[in-house]
Amino acid sequence: MQTIDNFNFENKKALIRVDFNVPLDAEFNVTDTTRIEAAKPSIIKVLEDGGSCVLMSHLGRPKGQKNESMSLQHILTVASDIIGVQLKFVEDCVGEKAEKAVAELAPGEVLLLENLRFYAEEEKGDEHFAEQLSKLGDIYINDAFGTAHRAHASTTIVANYFSGNKCFGYLLAKEIDSIDKVMKSGEKPVTAILGGAKVSSKITIIENILDKINHLIIGGGMTYTFIKAQGGQIGSSICEDDKQQLALDILNKAKEKGVEVHLPVDVIAADKFDNDANKQTVAVDEIQDGWQGLDVGPESMDRFKQVIKLSKTILWNGPVGVFEMESFNKGTIAIGNAIDEATKEGAFSLVGGGDSVAAVKQFGFEDKVSYVSTGGGAMLESLEGKTLPGIAAILK
Ligand code: AMP
């Protein structure tokens, strides 16, 4: 894998695709700087080598129109503080102005281009636009995992113009490495914990990972489609009736492949979808009408913990209960604690995709797992076994 460490950037201009798509408040202050901080190591490496950086990113969804409220100029001060260098800014990302600003860039300097998505050509993956971008650097670095599943001009097409002179930045390399650790070279036993609301949104992931894992823990709203398909009584729990056969097929396939599936045995059932609902702990397949399962019960938690504790590689995607409500967050917290313990014992743990990242952050597990993926959609597509265009373009 060609990473930034394979290059020396002395007197070179690095064109870096970063993900500075950060949230802004009504006064255009950056409210979460995680993504800017994540891009820092690659920028520093180029500068320490004696090179300069040309940073390109999108911000928001301007849909191909110039829109001052989504100008990257809003993040200039914060990004300069974080990176420790006063960033220069140019009001365009292609054309004469941008090329002039790049020509004037000296080693040690960092230039931020204006929002790529002010041009519709960016998301269309337009060749000519990508060619114009390619004039803005000697070496192309992709360090934006969040957009690696998109064949956009700056994430994929531009790489075609840098034959031999392209590589992954530290952040993207770490994402790829973490996913490979689970999907390709995971030390056994490998356990996947899948939760979330629906079977339908996780089906491709389940099918893809069955060949790679030893244990599959299923929790969350998905549970009830499996339980009903097996003849259980699920009351008013969330269920995709048309996915029942699919659920049985998954269980059969898992059996054929020797994967142990662990479904909840008990649940916290509620009489409404509300934090203040009446609650009772019941067997997962004996939920009365008018009641719905909103979290896993204590017996299930114990069983899940045992499996996780003995695992050497762990993948977690999706909460096992309605973690947004305090009354139903215990199962998700128990999973986090068990992963924390296993990680301390030497397991590799990867958390990624959608709401599991929010849950991990909310309950303070961020620094206790081995890696939390920064890319929602890109992570899910990786787990589904898809080749991400942004990654393929560097490897080509
Ligand atoms: P996903 O985006 O597919 O990972 O789904 C995450 C959502 O699933 C969260 O908002 C949870 O509140 C929800 N969820 C988890 N367990 C249940 C459940 N038993 N019933 C309804 N929703 C659930």
pLDDT in tens, 330-371: 999 999 999 999 999 999 999 987 678 888 989 999 999 999
Mean pLDDT of 61-78: 97
User: Structure tokens of 192?
Assistant: 């996947």
227 & 148 share domain: no
Indicate whether residue 321 lines ligand 1 (CB < 6 A): yes
Identify any residues that bridge with 141 across adjacent strands, giving them in sequence order.
16, 167
Cα–Cα distance for residue pair 189/130, rounded to 1 Å: 44
Look at ligand 1, atom 4, and give the residue with the nearest C-alpha.
196
Maximum distance among all Cα pairs of the chain, rounded to whole angstroms: 72
Residue to mutate (ligand 1; options 355, 356, 363; most atoms within 8 A of CB): 355
Does some domain include residue 180?
Answer: no
Query: Is 167's pLDDT higher than 80?
Result: yes
Does residue 148 sit in the same domain as residue 214?
no
Give yes or no for a cis peptide into 189 (omega within 30° of 0).
yes
DSSP state at residue 321: S
Whichever domain contains 76, its CATH number is 3.40.50.1260
pTM for the model = 0.89
Q: Do 23 and 107 lie in a common domain? A: yes
Mean local confidence (pLDDT), 50-67? 97
Mean pLDDT throughout 317-339?
A: 96
Give backbone dihedrals phi and psi of 20, rounded to 5 degrees, phi first: -100, 30
Which residue of 204, 315, 322 sits with most ligand 1 atoms within 8 Å of its CB, as the best mutation to test the pocket?
322
Mean pLDDT of the chain: 96
Query: Is residue 70 in a domain?
Result: yes
Cβ–ligand 1 contact at 220 (below 6 Å): yes
Cα separation, 68 vs 71, in Å, equals 5
235 shares a domain with 126: no
How far apart are the C-alpha atoms of 284 and 122, rounded to whole Å? 49
- Tell which of 139, 171, 203 closes a domain: 171
Residue 393 within a domain? no
319 C-alpha vs ligand 1 centroid, how far in Å?
Answer: 6
Looking at the domain assignment, is residue 316 inside a domain? yes
User: Among the three residues 117, 144, 171, which one is the final residue of a domain in this structure?
Assistant: 171
Same domain flag for 166 and 275: no
Residue 258 lies in a domain: yes
Which one of 136, 171, 206 terminates a domain?
A: 171
Same domain, 151 and 270: no
Atom of ligand 1 nearest to the CA of 267: 19
Binned at pLDDT 50, 70 and 90, residue 28 comes out as very high
| Residues catalogued as catalytic | 35, 198, 354, 377
Closest-lying ligand 1 atom to the alpha carbon of residue 202: 3
CB 270 within 8 A of CB 294: yes
Q: Tell me how many domains the chain contains.
A: 2
Helices 330-344 and 355-362 sit at what angle, rounded to 10 degrees? 80
Question: Of 257, 206, 251, 203, whose CA–CA distance to 226 is shortest?
Answer: 251
Closest C-alpha among 283, 371, 268 to residue 328: 268
Instruction: Please tell me whether residues 155 and 251 are part of one structural domain.
Output: no
Instruction: Find the domain containing 147 and state its range.
Output: 4-171
CB-CB contact of 363 with 319 (8 Å): no
